Each structure stands twice: as C-alpha cells, then as structure tokens.
Chain A
Amino acid sequence: MFGKKRVAIVGAGVTLFRRNLKETGKELSFHAAKMALEQAGMELRDIQSVVMGTAPDAFDGVHMKGEYLADGAGAYHKPYTRVFVGGGTGVFAPLAGWWHVASGKFDTCLVVCEEKMSSCYPHPQYAFTTIFDPILERPIGMNLIWIFALEMNRYMHKHNIKKEDIALVSVKNKRNALDNPIAQLAANITVEDVLNSEIMAWPVQRLDVSPTSDGAAAAVLVSEDIAKEVTDNPVWIDGVGWCIDSTYWTDRDLYYPDYVEYAARMAYKMAGIKNPPKEIDVAEPYDPFDYKELHHMEGLLLCKKGEAPKLTREGVTQRDGDLPTCPSGGLLGCGNPIAAAGMMKVCEIFWQLRGEAGKRQVPGDPRTGVAQAWGDLMQYGSVIVLRR
C-alpha cells in the first residue's frame, strides 16, 4: 500500500452539462458536492478537508476563483486547496484528494470540480489566447484550436491515419451519451456527418470537437476505516500518476504524449498493473477532440502506438467491446466544462465499477478502471486507477 491509508471513493455527484446554465459556479459546486455527500450517506460535518478543481480564472472573469467558489464547495471553516493544471485539473483534483487522505492527515476529503465557461464573451475560446507565450507566439495570432490541429495533423501523418477512422470516436462517444442524463451533445451521427462538418482549423472540423459547457462534478474520498463504516461497496483509488512535459511545444514531436505515458506508468506501478489492456476493464481517456481519445489510449498504454484507430474500427472500444472506452459519452457527447469534465470521467468509472451505470453499464462485471485528463500546452497528463 502507498501512503499511510488506503483511500476509497464512496459517493459521487454531477450536474447537467450545458452550453449555458442559469446557476453560478458556486451554485453548481453546491449541487454536485451535496449530491456526492448524499450518495455517500454523509454530511458536511463528516468532511475534514476540501479540494477544488477549476480551470482558468479568465473563463469566469473572477480572479482567484478558488476562493470565490469555496462556500459552494462546502469549504467553510475547513482546510481548503484549489488545484489547477489546465485541462488536466479534473483528474488531478481527486489525485490531490487522494494525498490528503493517504497521508493520514485527514480521514475524509470532498473533491469538487467546477467550470462555468459561458460567462466569457463573445466566446470562451478567446480566453485561451492568453495561454501562449506573449513575445514569440501571441503576435502570430495564436488560437487554441490551432494547437489541437497541429497535434492531430502530426499524429495522422506519423501513423498514416485517416480522418474516417478518427471520426469513429466522435460517432461512438456522441452515441454513448444518448444514455447519459447529463449530456449536452448526445446524438446519432455518422462518419460522413463528421467529415462534412464545417472546417475549423484543418484537420479539425466542427464535429471533431467537444463543446464549451457549464457544469460541476464531485466525489467523497475517505480512508479505509471510514469506507467500511459507510458503505459495502467502496471503490479504491489504487493508482495515481501525473507528469508535465516541456513548455517548448515547438521543440517536441506532438505525435505521441510521452508525459501521459509517464503518468500512466506511475499509476500502474502503484496499482500493480503489468499488462494494461488485459487488466483494465473500462477506460475514460480524455476526449476534448476525437483524435485525443486515440492519442490518449496510446499514451495510457492500452494499445501500441498508432494502433488505437484500428481498435476503434474493430469495435473493441464500444461499450460491449473488450476495452470499453468513454462509456459515459466523454467530452464529445457530454460536453466539456473543463475541470468538471475530467471529474465526470472519474465519477463514471466509480459508477461503472459499482454496477450503477444503468443503460451505460459495460458488461462483464468490471473490476478495474482508468480515467485520464490532459492539459496545459499539450503537456500535462493526470491518471487515476480505480478498483472495486
């Protein structure tokens, strides 16, 4: 065992994901946190520490939004930490929750992730222009979609991957989302729909991309002793990993996310996983764009480099396939409220392992699952392995 205490998730909660929700970020945080507590059969007074995950302040236009959101996350008069590693935040927040409890310092930790992107006008994408180097990159007119397009093109070039194969991910995830009550963009679409959708930044087209969203998600993490008191079916956090690559993104080969591999190896080593494709029953790799699911399956060592499109084509990643991937519908189907989206993936694995996923339930009584998020300037990987 790593740390002083084994750590379990005993409850999870999530709000609707929508382009624009009437609730404030604090209100969304409250709803998700309250639901997670209720599902755990616990009260706020049982919570000893709180971790908040939320992405750039620029979306909300509220500087230091960790403090702004604290009350909604149940942090009043408690030890409270906001963590932020770009798009990787949603899986990094439960990792931070893990060390709060694994260290032995706290028996319980409430982890809440929130994003409200709709406040930023005319489009939240513009807030991303300030992530680029102010001297060398911004004068070029950098645009967030470009970096995905540059990465996608490099990935396709290196392995000779066709857009048709990548589009299958969007088709699968949007269809999986039809069974998800929180989903923003659930749909039955075809590969042709993706290929005929508006070009944004070639090779990225409209239906290759997840939308911007508002939403929140939360989970209750507890030590083994508490877990045994409150539930008969805890889900254990058996592996954690995180890693960052260089910010000199024009000096790296973007075809493969090394840093995701390093994070995955760290998590698998801790979980005693030697053969990830065999030992992992269900996966939620980060899919803000369709090619990213493939890129991340490879980084997570769920297949060989360049092999993810083939597995997708063969149906291996369908909900009833050998390696169900994004059974939730992912970001492509559910929406992408940045930190909340990553956390939603952790919640989905929790529910899948508890057999509570209803119509989305993957068959075969899954025991081990992995969720992953990714962010910053194509450089951050966060990975969590859950087991029942």
Chain B
Amino acid sequence: MSVKIKHYPGEEVETKDFREGKVLFESFRPKAKYAWSAGIAISRFLEELKNGRIIATTCSKCGRIMVPPRIYCEKCFKPTDGWTYVKDTGVINTFSVSFIAADASRLKEPIVVAIINLDGASEGMGIVHRIEEYGDWREIKIGMRVKAVWKPPEERTGAITDIKYFKLVKE
C-alpha cells in the first residue's frame, strides 16, 4: 500500500463461483481419528469427577492450589507435591452468550460458557464450562456464584461432562 505501487495482485472469486463450476477445484475430507491419553494428572482428575469431586494439585514452593491439576508447577518448574479437593462451587470470572456453533452456524438457543473460579483453588484459578438454569441471559453478571450440576453417578464416565453444567445460586 505504497504510492509507488500501482497494482495489487489477486483475483477475487465468490463461494458460489465454485458451486457454479466457474472455478476449478478439488475437495477432500480428512478421515484421521485420534484417541488422546488423558495423562497422569488429568486421569486422576477425571477419576475424581466420577466420584462427584474436583481435585487439584498443590505446589509447596509457591503455595498454589492448581486446577486443572498438573504434575508440574509451570512457575516454579518443579513437580507438584500434593493433591487436595476443591469445591464444586465458585464465581463467574467471565462469560459469553454464544449464538453460533463451532462451525459458525447459528444456534436456535444460545449457549452460555464461563470461566469459573472454583472455591478452594488459588485466586483466579478455574475451569471453563457451561452455565444453565440462568433465566434471562441479560441478567448474568461476572462475579455471580455458581454450583456444579452433576450427572447421576451411574451415568458418569470420567469426563469433564460428568459435570453437566454450572447453575446460578443465590448468595
């Protein structure tokens, strides 16, 4: 974008030009599948979710109670040295009300997602999860208190979705 440049290359096409055969193209759908090991720390975390509890790791050097748990403290760069339960209640650190799905298509009903700072964890530490039972989304505020709503024990699989969502709770 200099006055010395008179022409900028690029031929614009519209998506419909592909559909209408005005542009030649080739398409491909990848078929790769993945199975991830949950790892040392998160496997324990998921096991505890099955029991209806949220577990954190602790670092004796910086004193942090960390959730999600990890086997090393990334700040002190040493192994964490303890496990401790935190509560399934907490505070909304920030939230969003999404009217679009992951592929950018429109949703009929919005999804509310939040970062939840869990009670018992170090200040500002938490997890991302959904919020439901909120009434009017315009009434949701940062700082509101929430509590986990769990799947019944027999339906839990050791997944983050063993917590169905968090709901707003009165102070």
Binding site for B on A (CB under 8 A): 12-23, 28, 31, 35, 39, 61, 118, 121-123, 125-126, 129, 134-137, 139-146, 149-151, 153-154, 157, 180-182, 198-204, 214-215, 246, 248, 250-254, 328, 344, 347-348, 351, 354, 356-358, 360
Interface residues of B in 23-59 (CB under 8 A from A): 23, 27-28, 30, 34, 36, 38-39, 42, 46
A252–B68 alpha-carbon span in the complex (Å): 12
Which of the residues A21, A22, A39, A140 comes within 8 Å of B128, measured between beta carbons? A140
Q: Are B128 and A142 in contact (CB under 8 A)?
A: yes
Given contacts A21-B11, A250-B127, A39 and B5 within 8 Å (CB-CB) = yes
Which of the residues A35, A201, A344 comes within 8 Å of B97, measured between beta carbons? A201
Which of the residues A23, A140, A149, A154 comes within 8 Å of B9, measured between beta carbons? A23
A76–B165 alpha-carbon span in the complex (Å): 53
Q: Are B11 and A23 in contact (CB under 8 A)?
A: yes
Q: Are B1 and A181 in contact (CB under 8 A)?
A: yes
**Minimum CB distance partner of B130 in chain A:** A140
Given contacts A123-B103, A139-B161, A149 and B129 within 8 Å (CB-CB) = no
Min CB distance A164 to B, Å, is 17
Binding site for A on B (CB under 8 A): 1-5, 8-15, 23, 27-28, 30, 34, 36, 38-39, 42, 46, 66-68, 70, 74, 93-105, 110-111, 113-115, 124-130, 137, 142, 159-161
Which of the residues A150, A198, A251, A357 comes within 8 Å of B96, measured between beta carbons? A150
Question: Which residues of the other chain, B, contact A360 by a CB distance below 8 angstroms?
Answer: 1
**Minimum CB distance partner of B6 in chain A:** A181
Q: Are A16 and B96 in contact (CB under 8 A)?
A: no
Which 9 A-B residue pairs are closest in the complex by CB-CB distance?
A: A16-B10, A149-B96, A154-B94, A202-B97, A201-B98, A31-B9, A123-B104, A356-B2, A22-B11
Q: Are B103 and A122 in contact (CB under 8 A)?
A: yes
Given contacts A135-B36, A180-B1, A358-B3, A16 and B8 within 8 Å (CB-CB) = yes
Min CB distance B61 to A, Å, is 16
Given contacts A204-B96, A248-B74, A251-B124, A141 and B1 within 8 Å (CB-CB) = no
Q: Are B126 and A250 in contact (CB under 8 A)?
A: yes
Residue from A20, A154, A199 whose CB has the most chain B CB atoms within 10 Å: A20
Min CB distance A369 to B, Å, is 14
Q: Are B94 and A150 in contact (CB under 8 A)?
A: yes
Question: Given A28-B10, A126-B104, A135-B42, 7 more contacts at CB 8 Å?
Answer: A18-B12, A136-B68, A137-B128, A182-B1, A250-B126, A251-B126, A252-B124
**Minimum CB distance partner of A141 in chain B:** B102
Q: Are B10 and A31 in contact (CB under 8 A)?
A: yes
Q: Are A200 and B1 in contact (CB under 8 A)?
A: no
Question: Which residues of the other chain, A, contact B4 by a CB distance below 8 angstroms?
Answer: 39, 356
Question: Which residues of the other chain, A, contact B126 by a CB distance below 8 angstroms?
Answer: 250-251
Residue from A35, A39, A201, A344 whose CB has the most chain B CB atoms within 10 Å: A201
Q: Are A140 and B124 in contact (CB under 8 A)?
A: no
Min CB distance A352 to B, Å, is 10
Question: Which residues of the other chain, B, contact A356 by a CB distance below 8 angstroms?
Answer: 2-4
Classify the interface of chain A: helix, strand, loop or mixed. Answer: mixed
A180–B113 alpha-carbon span in the complex (Å): 37
Min CB distance B19 to A, Å, is 11
A-B contact pairs, 18 of them (CB 8 A): A16-B8, A18-B12, A20-B14, A21-B12, A35-B9, A121-B27, A123-B104, A126-B104, A141-B102, A141-B111, A145-B100, A146-B113, A149-B98, A150-B115, A201-B100, A347-B1, A357-B1, A358-B3
Question: Which residues of the other chain, B, contact A61 by a CB distance below 8 angstroms?
Answer: 28, 30
Q: Are A150 and B2 in contact (CB under 8 A)?
A: no
Q: Are A143 and B101 in contact (CB under 8 A)?
A: yes
Residue from B74, B115, B137 whose CB has the most chain A CB atoms within 10 Å: B115
Q: Are A143 and B97 in contact (CB under 8 A)?
A: no
Min CB distance A92 to B, Å, is 21
A344–B128 alpha-carbon span in the complex (Å): 34
Question: Which residues of the other chain, A, contact B102 by a CB distance below 8 angstroms?
Answer: 125-126, 129, 141-144
A13–B7 alpha-carbon span in the complex (Å): 11
Given contacts A143-B98, A246-B74, A360-B1, A134 and B113 within 8 Å (CB-CB) = no
Question: Which residues of the other chain, A, contact B15 by a CB distance below 8 angstroms?
Answer: 19-20, 118
Q: Are A140 and B160 in contact (CB under 8 A)?
A: yes
**Minimum CB distance partner of B122 in chain A:** A251
